[in-house]
């Protein structure tokens, strides 16, 4: 696929945007290690305070104009518009980042929190997930205010503290807005950072960008096998590890059914005009009617595809095991394993727990739901709503096919990872997940939660232009 900037258009817009200064500010933000610990007691909140103070110094117009509220360690900014009858727009994001995997620090070409910037890239943890979007939004709003633009519609900026773990910051801000009776016009949160190549779906030479209308649910289920342990020379009756292994295998080898849910069908209807090759071409040739008629065949085909199967089923991933001795001649006592589920809309956390209990019944293991990190799947936002139309209009100017210059289509999608967006469903029917700060697929695969996370300076500036344009469209 073409390098990501080959999809860019109108890079000359807002010519007085200062690339060097904006990228330097992003680099400084990346140098502040706002690492989200597994519990709040393990998080260095002083780093979040430092980042908040950096925001204030870097974006004086924003913080002078905004009503600023600190909700726990999250930030909620309200820039009041002239027409109070209009529902506010919200741009949101999270300030926290995941830690660097211990032992991999030396694999980084530049330190994860070094704030390194060169002629092409800004490097560091959070360069894609998602301090780029947090900083880019602040840059866009600062630009608008510095140029004297007056907002007709209120803009809210909500920056969460712990999206990577407990999501308590966004949950608190969403609840606070609900208690105040606020309703939002639409919400924009992070998306998948990509321009997607449609060749895999039978549309060679065509690309798109996705807007997440919904996201899968999340559940961690812990299996526990108990035993008195003892010397391995007498394992009569088996070990707790053996029972646990059987339970893990039974859960992991019992796949959930495949289903083409509504957002999948909407996605396929959007790309159907471009699909000309492969088995999918026949199944979507008649648009939505064909898709509905062939839904199960499409779902089954997607489940056999390593890239597409998360879109049509609840996924099951054993990820952690604990409790064994460090000596091979010692039988373990209590052993536990954690299995992670990403839950397809239409299924609930309760149904996941019930299914696991049924599968391991009789194996002598306990089932525990890790309730504080579980969420049901989100609602599904409308593809024909005002928010989607606004994103499409702004994106059409800045992201095009390199061959013919036509705007890249914005395609509805299911977000397979978790975001904070669903925490605002209590105040908004249009929670959208979209990132105009894009990178090549290999950069995303390698860098997000991995090593050598970075963003090109050109991509960062193009994302800022997108948000400046969106502000002009929707707020003035």
Other Cβ atoms less than 10 A from the Cβ of 282: the count is: 13
Token pair of 158 as six digits: 């909500």
Distance of CA 53 to the CA centre of its chain: 26
Question: Is residue 236's pLDDT more than 80?
Answer: no
Sign of the C-alpha dihedral computed for residues 386, 387, 392 and 395 taken in this order: positive
Q: What is the mean pLDDT of residues 187-210?
A: 95
Q: What is the mean pLDDT of residues 159-177?
A: 96
What are the φ and ψ backbone dihedral angles of 87, each rounded to 5 degrees?
-65, 140
Co-location of 66 and 149 in the same domain: yes
Tens-place pLDDT, residues 329-344: 888 889 999 999 999 9
Task: Report which DSSP code applies to 342.
Answer: E
Tens-place pLDDT, residues 417-458: 889 999 999 999 999 999 999 998 888 988 899 999 999 999
Question: Is residue 274's pLDDT more than 80?
Answer: yes
Give the pLDDT band (50/70/90) at residue 470.
very high
Mention every residue, 6+ apart, whose C-beta is less than 8 A from residue 330.
229, 231, 232
Look at residue 234 in the predicted model and tell me its pLDDT.
82
Question: Is residue 2's pLDDT more than 60?
Answer: no
The residue among 32 and 450 whose pLDDT is bigger is 32
Token pair of 251 as six digits: 């859960």
Look at residue 437 in the predicted model and tell me its pLDDT.
98
Residues of the chain by 3-state class (helix, strand, coil), percent to 5: 40, 20, 40
Q: What is the mean pLDDT of residues 312-328?
A: 93
Q: Is residue 303 part of a domain?
A: no
The number of domains in the chain is 2
What is the pairing mode between strands 196-197 and 207-215? antiparallel
Q: What is the mean pLDDT of residues 40-64?
A: 97
Q: Distance between CA atoms of 273 and 285, rounded to whole angstroms?
A: 8
Q: Is residue 272 part of a domain?
A: no
Token pair of 167 as six digits: 């999501």
DSSP string, 77-98: EEE--S-TTSPPEEEEEE--BP
Q: Is residue 72 part of a domain?
A: yes
**Residues of the chain with pLDDT > 90: what percent?**
89
Q: What does the mean pLDDT of the chain come to?
A: 96
What are the φ and ψ backbone dihedral angles of 197, each rounded to 5 degrees?
-80, 120
Q: Distance between CA atoms of 296 and 197, rounded to whole angstroms?
A: 24
Look at residue 40 in the predicted model and tell me its pLDDT.
86
Tens-place pLDDT, residues 116-154: 999 999 999 999 999 999 999 999 999 999 999 999 999
Token pair of 161 as six digits: 């503290």
- Interior angle at CA 34, CA 28 and CA 40, nearest 5: 165
Question: Is residue 325's pLDDT more than 90?
Answer: no
Print the domain residue range for 369: 217-256+314-375
Co-location of 48 and 124 in the same domain: yes
Look at residue 1 in the predicted model and tell me its pLDDT.
45
Q: Is residue 424 exposed (0-12), middle (13-18) or buried (19+ Cβ within 10 Å)?
A: buried
Co-location of 324 and 177 in the same domain: no
* Residue that is last in its domain, among 360, 375, 390: 375
CATH number at residue 240: 3.30.70.360
Look at residue 413 in the predicted model and tell me its pLDDT.
97
The closest of 380, 377, 423 to 174, measured between CA atoms, is 423
Co-location of 42 and 173 in the same domain: yes
């Amino acid at each position: 696929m073409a390098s990501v900037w080959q999809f860019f258009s109108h890079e000359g817009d807002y010519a007085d945007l200062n690339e060097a200064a904006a990228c330097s500010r992003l680099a400084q933000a990346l140098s502040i290690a706002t690492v989200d610990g597994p519990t709040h007691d393990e998080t260095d909140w002083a780093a979040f305070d430092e980042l908040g103070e950096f925001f204030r110094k870097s974006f004086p117009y924003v913080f002078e104009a905004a009503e600023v509220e600190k909700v726990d360690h999250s930030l909620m900014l309200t820039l009041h518009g002239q027409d109070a009858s209009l529902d506010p727009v919200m741009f949101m994001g999270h300030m926290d980042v995941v830690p660097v995997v211990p032992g991999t620090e030396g694999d980084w070409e530049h330190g994860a929190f070094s704030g390194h910037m060169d002629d092409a890239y800004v490097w560091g943890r959070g360069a894609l997930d998602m301090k780029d979007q947090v900083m880019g939004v602040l840059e866009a709003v600062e630009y608008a205010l510095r140029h004297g633009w007056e907002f007709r519609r209120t803009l809210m900026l909500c920056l969460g503290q712990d999206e990577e773990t407990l999501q308590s910051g966004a949950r608190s801000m969403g609840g606070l807005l609900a208690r105040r009776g606020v309703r939002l016009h639409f919400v924009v949160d992070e998306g998948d950072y990509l321009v997607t190549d449609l060749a895999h779906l039978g549309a060679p030479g065509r690309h798109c960008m996705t807007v997440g209308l919904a996201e899968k649910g999340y559940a961690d289920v812990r299996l526990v096998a108990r035993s008195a342990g003892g010397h391995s020379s007498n394992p009569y009756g088996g070990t707790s590890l053996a029972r646990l292994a059987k339970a893990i295998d039974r859960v992991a080898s019992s796949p959930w059914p495949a289903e083409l849910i509504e957002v999948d069908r909407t996605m396929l209807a959007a790309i159907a005009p471009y699909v000309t090759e492969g088995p999918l071409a026949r199944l979507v040739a008649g648009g939505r009617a064909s898709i509905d008629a062939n839904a199960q065949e499409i779902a089954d085909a997607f489940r056999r595809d390593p890239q597409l199967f998360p879109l049509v089923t609840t996924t099951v991933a054993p990820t952690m095991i604990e409790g064994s001795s460090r000596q091979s001649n010692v039988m373990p006592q209590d052993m536990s394993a954690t299995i992670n589920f990403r839950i397809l809309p239409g299924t609930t956390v309760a149904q996941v727990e019930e299914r696991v209990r049924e599968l391991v019944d009789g194996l002598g293991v306990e089932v525990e739901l890790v309730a504080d990190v579980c969420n049901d799947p989100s609602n599904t936002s409308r593809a024909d709503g005002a928010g989607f139309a606004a994103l499409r209009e702004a994106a059409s100017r800045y992201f095009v096919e390199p061959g013919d210059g036509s705007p890249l289509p914005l395609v509805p999608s299911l977000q397979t990872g978790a975001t904070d967006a669903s925490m605002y469903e209590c105040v908004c029917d249009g929670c959208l997940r979209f990132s105009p700060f894009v990178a090549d697929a290999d950069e995303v695969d390698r860098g997000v939660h991995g090593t050598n996370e970075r963003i090109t300076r050109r991509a960062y500036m193009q994302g800022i232009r997108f948000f400046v344009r969106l502000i002009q469209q929707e707020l003035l």
